[in-house]
Structure 1
């Protein structure tokens, strides 16, 4: 996708999502809406959704709202791309998931991935946003900056 088109689509998505979610406090509703809009807007997204920190299980993510094929049900912190994002609190931008140490293949068709930590207004990790693509090297700095900005605008209120 051309860089300018990608930037424009993200600007539209952020504007739309901020407008739609204004005043909404239910985290599940917010996550479902974000996953839906992003999945619809970006044709290179194969799987779009959230893995939520499970308060009943220390250091474990559980699948949350998503769009796409069946996702893994649970992912421990530190395991795979999602677990790495959860344990480091840093966005993981992976051009080839098959070369990522400890990669978890929830769907073997995934070839690249970006995972963004979702931090609430109290500074606590509540989830990770996971986006997969069937193409290699689908995600870049535009995706990283735009998705980090979106997560902050929607969830850190």
Structure 2
């Protein structure tokens, strides 16, 4: 396991291509979900300096705040509510270019302007979501989705 990551400059694609194997090395062999989520959140925050990066875990009928990097966040989110609850309910990645235009958006911070949320699955069921917020409108796209889904897949392999 690595104790640090190498931060690189370059295009977002170059940054992801550098970060993905580092995250894989950090979490491979570690079976503790919380530890892996904490390190992934930290690595993403360090590399991209997004406003907020973190996980919500499915507990009973709601998402409960898990490991994150950034300012104080909402603690509990109902299934189907907001972008996180929507990603969980629909079991798919959601990219929102302008959170102020998203019906039912939960404003944990007024500084958040765009968001991407990705489900984490164990045995086909969503057990958590990765939530990333940016202070910029239109910040996330299919490139982010592609590489973040690869990172989620690496996390899911540790759950087997």
TM-score clears 0.5: yes
Give 1:86 deviation, angstroms: 0.4
1:105 to 104, 107, 122: 107
1:155 aligned to 2:156? yes
Cα-to-partner distance string for 1:116-151 (whole Å, 9 max, x where unaligned): 00112x222110000000000000111001101110
Query: Which sections of structure 1, spanning at least 5 residues, go unmatched?
Result: none
Query: Which sections of structure 2, spanning at least 5 residues, go unmatched?
Result: 1-9
Cα-to-partner distance string for 1:81-111 (whole Å, 9 max, x where unaligned): 0000000001010000000000000011100
TM-score, reference length from structure 1: 0.92
Distance in 1 (CA, whole Å) between partners of 2:85 and 2:95 is 13
The number of residues matched between the two structures is: 149
TM-score, reference length from structure 2: 0.90
In the alignment, what sits opposite 2:53?
48
Distance in 2 (CA, whole Å) between partners of 1:142 and 1:156 is 22
Moved beyond 6 Å, runs of 4+: none
